[in-house]
Amino acid sequence: MIFYKFLNRSRLLKKGSFFFFSVLFLFCCLSVKAQETNKLNLIIDADTANEVDDLYAIVSAILEPAFNLLAINSAQFHTSPLASENTVLESQKINEEIIQLMHVKGIALPLGSNTPLKEYDKPMSSEASQFIIETAHKMKHNEKLHVVILGACTNVASAILEDPSIISKIKVHYLGFWHTPNTNVYNKKEFNSGNDPIAVEVLLNTKTLDFNVMTATTSQHLVFTKQEVDSHLKNKKGIASYLVNRWETYARWWTKEDPEKEKWIMWDVAIIEALAHPELSTINYFLTPPENTQRSIGIHTKIDVNAMTTHFWNTLKNL
């Protein structure tokens, strides 16, 4: 009898242990799933070939654990004095090279429009605008598709014009124009805005669009030095070497200052870091310009430059 009692007790203990570890395993799975669902569903729309900072921002976004990066759209930058006849293909090429060098899968690379909007109500449809529409409609009722615009607004504005039903399903984060918070004065004579002024107006006038802007006024304060880039990336292979080479070989056409390119403003990195780490940026709400539909939009007015820089290099530390 003692043997059978011992045997039964052992069986109960085993069953109890199995139940305990089963519950623990299920809890862990749910926790992982919860972490995955907390990731931001993200599309980056970038004029990657236009400058240097786009590449750094895209690489950090690919590595950023807070993002579920679904696609990198290519965008045009036709106003650059270095522009070819097909700037969107230049951006597309670099996007493809980045993905190849980083050996990542599951990120779509839709081709954007090569020309800006010519008329307010007429979209420039493209693979990129269609991908935004299709992905927005896949979002669950409590989710939004986050779209970060690092260049011209052409692809996103086109998507909205093609299918206005996506407006409630997306949140747009735009890097563009200048803004003075104290007086709420806007200056749209800025490079990104100038590459598609009509598309900018579409976004500002879309009354119910969830719209945040990282202005050039704010992002200009995030500056990297060549010395720190070299200390983190120099003499490495793959994407690290690619980033260093881009800095060293890109012809900076807009200024004759700093001919040795010892410093670079990381405009695009600022908006990616602010999205990944909201605590590093202050957003205030302002009325849109007087010539636009009057509504409130979010504008980043201050960033923690040191913390953003630290976070960025921590993200790239294993390259």
Are residues 135 and 169 in contact, defined by beta-carbon separation less than 8 angstroms?
no
Between 27-41, 43-57, 290-304, the lowest mean confidence (pLDDT) is in: 27-41
pLDDT digits 0-9 by tens, 159-168: 999 999 999 9
User: Considering the domain boundaries, does residue 2 fall inside one?
Assistant: no
What CATH number is associated with residue 90?
A: 3.90.245.10
Alpha-carbon distances, residue 252 vs 50, 52, 244 (angstroms): 10, 9, 15
User: Percent of the chain at pLDDT above 70?
Assistant: 88
User: Considering the domain boundaries, does residue 211 fall inside one?
Assistant: yes
DSSP assignment letter at 160: H
Q: Please tell me the total count of domains within the chain.
A: 1
More confident residue, 232 or 30: 232
pLDDT value at residue 256: 86
User: Considering the domain boundaries, does residue 301 fall inside one?
Assistant: yes
The answer to whether residue 184 scores a pLDDT higher than 50 is yes
- 263-275 burial, b for 16+ CB within 10 Å, e for fewer? ebbbbbbbbbbbb
pLDDT value at residue 150: 98
pLDDT value at residue 262: 96
User: How far, in Å, CA of 245 to CA of 250, rounded?
Assistant: 8
pLDDT value at residue 37: 59
User: Considering the domain boundaries, does residue 98 fall inside one?
Assistant: yes
User: Considering the domain boundaries, does residue 14 fall inside one?
Assistant: no
More confident residue, 304 or 38: 304
The answer to whether residue 23 scores a pLDDT higher than 70 is no
User: How far, in Å, CA of 79 to CA of 62, rounded?
Assistant: 28
pLDDT value at residue 2: 44
User: Considering the domain boundaries, does residue 36 fall inside one?
Assistant: no
Are residues 265 and 222 in contact, defined by beta-carbon separation less than 8 angstroms?
yes
pLDDT value at residue 26: 37
User: Considering the domain boundaries, does residue 37 fall inside one?
Assistant: no
pLDDT value at residue 17: 47
Closest CA to 206 of 145, 146, 293: 293
What domain range includes position 309? 42-315
Residue 38, class by beta-carbon neighbours within 10 Å (0-12 exposed, 13-18 middle, 19+ buried)? exposed
Q: What average pLDDT does the segment 287-304 reach?
A: 98
User: Considering the domain boundaries, does residue 15 fall inside one?
Assistant: no
DSSP output for 230-282: HHHHTT--HHHHHHHHHHHH----S--S-TT--EEE-HHHHHHHHHH-GGGEE
The answer to whether residue 18 scores a pLDDT higher than 70 is no
pLDDT digits 0-9 by tens, 110-124: 999 999 999 999 999
Mean pLDDT of the chain: 91
CA atoms within 13 A on the CB side of 119: 2
pLDDT digits 0-9 by tens, 46-57: 999 999 999 999
